[in-house]
């Protein structure tokens, strides 16, 4: 199958840090279909060779084992082309159409790796030029809007040009192998599904923690914040994967129908419940890896006195028969104690304890990063005496070791799925809008509350966030996983 993959924003950070390295890994693993061309478009005036040299230099920043040799890069670079485009000029889209039509590839994938405010303009120009045929797909990178109204406007314009089956809204967490194995764990095995409900599960925790600060992205981050950057998309998508009902079949619409039902079942926020069930914080100076680091307000390009949140923890419930009464805790933040993304399913204690001592309930840990795998925490007898207290043990499945050959990264998997036209791992417009609809009351309450409360709670860099986040979970008699 021949394909053309076009990156709008071809010199941007996302393209050279994530997308091009992911494509190279697919090429190295022999998974990239033959007969492909990659086209980077941007405003810079440069040739194919100059762009390839620029890209090769950027590849030196890729982690060592993923870095291409000179010979590998030379073969990969034969696929890479460059075209100068001003995205506001119709004649430049005409030139792009001519370039694509000359070869007539079986599939054309247009990846919008630009600022989302450009999505409507780009899509309208693509439609006007006829670059929306049945063999053409558009990939939309997050963030998809700044609020519900902007998301709906982007979707309106996208739908006016592309059908829903040709619009691929990307969330790179859905490409992670561990998230795919969450589906396999639940719906490919009989072991857990009978337990996957309120009678057996006490609470579920989703943590997306970063040890880094905002770095040089202070201006972008201050317009976004942790709620928009991580909760509205990544964390809610993970929640839907955990809480969804078994789909009738393994296809895109069946899966996304069930995810949408979860989003519609989330307990809506009121001004009162935002005050009670949501904690926002902002990091101050502290230490990371034993070195002093600045606070958020001291970072480059962050406005003085900013009330932007760099941490969010919240409690919610899925109001249906399976999950009634089970709290879901979501947490994300910058400059936390560790880089750690995981889902923790805490089971209820045994109804009657016949062993001495206080026994910790079982839990299942789905590790997303930096490790990729599953841990099942159990209790076992040491076997030295009948009066022994039980000892904690765990079964540890490391996917990188279990499936060591040619492991596929998140962006690599999603790019290959987009080229193949499979929508299972992408977000439908009604899902995305419902997620915005759910978080908007939090944003509205914060905008009204900033002056009254003084904004986000401070926390020291290198910690797990404000103390109020621990109190949020302790109120129900539980604790975050690192505190257990």
Q: Is the peptide bond before 308 cis (omega within 30 degrees of 0)?
A: no
pLDDT in tens, 339-384: 999 999 999 999 988 888 778 899 999 999 888 889 999 999 887 7
Higher pLDDT, 141 or 337: 337
Q: What is the per-residue pLDDT for 79?
A: 94
Cα 283 from chain centroid (whole Å): 22
Long-range own/partner contacts, residues 182-189 (CB < 8 A, 24 or more apart): 182/241, 182/242, 182/343, 182/366, 183/241, 185/366, 185/374, 186/246, 187/246, 187/247, 187/250
Position 142 pLDDT exceeds 70: yes
Please say if 352 is a catalytic residue.
Answer: no
- Give the separation between CA 404 and CA 400, rounded to whole angstroms: 5
Position 140 pLDDT exceeds 90: yes
pLDDT in tens, 444-481: 999 887 655 668 999 999 999 999 999 999 999 999 99
Judged on CB neighbours under 10 Å (0-12, 13-18, 19+), 31 is middle
For the chain, state the CA radius of gyration: 24
N-term to C-term CA, the chain? 52
Tell me the DSSP string of 404-441: -TTPPPHHHHHHHHHHHT--TTSB-HHHHHHHHHHHHH
Q: What is the per-residue pLDDT for 451?
A: 59
The residue among 69, 67, 15 whose CA lies nearest residue 42 is 15
Binned at pLDDT 50, 70 and 90, residue 407 comes out as low
pLDDT in tens, 180-232: 888 888 898 888 889 999 999 999 999 999 999 998 888 889 999 999 999 99
When mean pLDDT is compared across 32-41, 296-305, 321-330, 379-388, the lowest value belongs to 379-388
The neighbour count for residue 433, using CB atoms within 10 Å, is 19
Higher pLDDT, 387 or 229: 229
Q: What is the per-residue pLDDT for 3?
A: 95
Contact 442, 227 (CB under 8 A): yes
What mean pLDDT do residues 380-408 have? Answer: 78
SS3 379: strand
Locate all alpha helices (DSSP H) within 32-118, ordered by sequence: 48-58, 70-77, 90-103
Report the half-sphere exposure of 476 (CA within 13 A, side-chain side).
22
Q: Which helix (H) or strand (E) holds 443?
A: helix 429-453
- Give the separation between CA 112 and CA 166, rounded to whole angstroms: 13
Position 386 pLDDT exceeds 90: no
Q: Which strands make up the sheet holding 278-284, listed edge to edge?
A: 391-398, 373-380, 363-369, 340-347, 201-209, 327-333, 311-317, 278-284, 457-460
Determine what percent of the chain is predicted with pLDDT higher than 90.
74
Position 395 pLDDT exceeds 70: yes
Contact 93, 122 (CB under 8 A): no
- Give the separation between CA 241 and CA 263, rounded to whole angstroms: 11
Q: What is the per-residue pLDDT for 405?
A: 64
Binned at pLDDT 50, 70 and 90, residue 401 comes out as confident
Contacts of 36 (CB under 8 A, 6+ apart): 2, 3, 4, 5, 79, 419
pTM: 0.93
Contact 338, 371 (CB under 8 A): no
Determine what percent of the chain is predicted with pLDDT higher than 70.
98
When mean pLDDT is compared across 7-21, 138-152, 358-372, 440-454, the lowest value belongs to 440-454
Q: What is the per-residue pLDDT for 397?
A: 84
Contacts of 84 (CB under 8 A, 6+ apart): 41, 42, 43, 44, 45, 46, 92
Q: What is the per-residue pLDDT for 306?
A: 94
Q: What is the per-residue pLDDT for 383?
A: 74
Options 234, 307, 352, 451, the catalytic residue:
234
Q: What is the overall mean pLDDT for the chain?
A: 92
Q: What is the per-residue pLDDT for 450?
A: 65
Q: What is the per-residue pLDDT for 366?
A: 93
SS3 23: helix
Q: What is the per-residue pLDDT for 404?
A: 65
Binned at pLDDT 50, 70 and 90, residue 266 comes out as very high
Helix 429-453 and helix 252-265, axial crossing angle in degrees, nearest 10:
30
Q: What is the per-residue pLDDT for 356?
A: 82
Q: What is the per-residue pLDDT for 282?
A: 97
Position 84 pLDDT exceeds 90: yes
């Amino acid at each position: 199958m021949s394909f053309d993959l076009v990156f709008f924003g071809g010199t941007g950070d996302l393209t050279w840090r994530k997308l091009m390295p992911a494509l190279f890994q697919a090429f190295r693993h022999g998974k990239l279909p033959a007969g492909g061309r990659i086209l980077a478009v941007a405003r810079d005036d440069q040739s194919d060779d100059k762009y390839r040299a620029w890209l090769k230099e950027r590849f030196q920043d890729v982690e060592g084992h993923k870095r291409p040799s000179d010979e590998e890069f030379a073969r990969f670079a034969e696929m890479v082309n460059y075209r100068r485009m001003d995205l506001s000029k119709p004649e430049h889209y005409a030139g792009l159409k001519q370039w694509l039509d000359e070869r007539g590839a079986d599939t054309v994938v247009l990846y919008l790796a630009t600022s989302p405010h450009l999505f409507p303009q780009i899509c309208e120009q693509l439609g006007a030029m006829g670059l929306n045929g049945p063999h053409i797909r558009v990939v939309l990178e997050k963030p998809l809007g700044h609020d519900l109204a902007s998301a709906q406007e982007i979707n309106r314009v996208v739908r006016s040009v592309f059908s829903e089956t040709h619009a691929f809204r990307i969330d790179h967490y859905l490409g992670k192998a561990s998230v795919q194995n969450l589906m396999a764990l639940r719906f490919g095995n009989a072991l857990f599904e009978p337990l996957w409900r309120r009678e057996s599960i006490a609470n579920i925790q989703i943590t997306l923690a970063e040890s880094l600060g905002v770095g040089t992205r202070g201006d972008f981050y201050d317009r976004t914040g942790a709620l928009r950057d991580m909760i509205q998309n990544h964390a809610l998508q993970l929640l839907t994967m955990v809480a969804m009902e078994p789909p009738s079949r393994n296809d895109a619409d069946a899966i996304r129908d069930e995810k949408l039902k979860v989003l519609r079942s989330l307990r809506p926020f009121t001004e009162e419940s935002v005050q009670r069930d949501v904690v926002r914080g902002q990091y101050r100076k502290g230490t990371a890896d034993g070195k002093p680091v600045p606070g958020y307000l001291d970072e480059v390009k962050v406005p003085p006195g900013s009330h932007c949140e760099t941490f969010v923890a919240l409690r919610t419930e899925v109001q249906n028969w399976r999950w009634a009464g089970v709290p879901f805790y979501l947490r994300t933040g910058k400059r936390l104690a560790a880089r750690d993304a995981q889902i923790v399913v805490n089971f209820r204690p045994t109804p009657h304890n016949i062993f001495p001592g206080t026994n910790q309930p079982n839990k299942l840990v789905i590790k997303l990063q930096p490790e990729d795998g599953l841990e099942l925490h159990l209790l076992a007898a040491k076997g030295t005496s009948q009066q022994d207290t039980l000892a904690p043990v765990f079964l540890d499945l490391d996917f990188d070791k279990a499936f060591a050959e040619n492991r596929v990264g998140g962006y690599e998997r999603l790019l290959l799925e987009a080229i193949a036209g499979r929508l299972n791992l992408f977000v439908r417009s009604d899902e995305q809008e419902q997620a915005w609809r759910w978080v908007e009351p939090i944003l509205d309450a914060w905008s009204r509350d900033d002056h009254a409360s003084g904004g986000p709670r401070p926390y020291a860099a290198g910690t797990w966030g404000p103390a109020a986040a621990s109190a949020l979970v302790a109120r129900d008699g539980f604790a975050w996983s690192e505190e257990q």
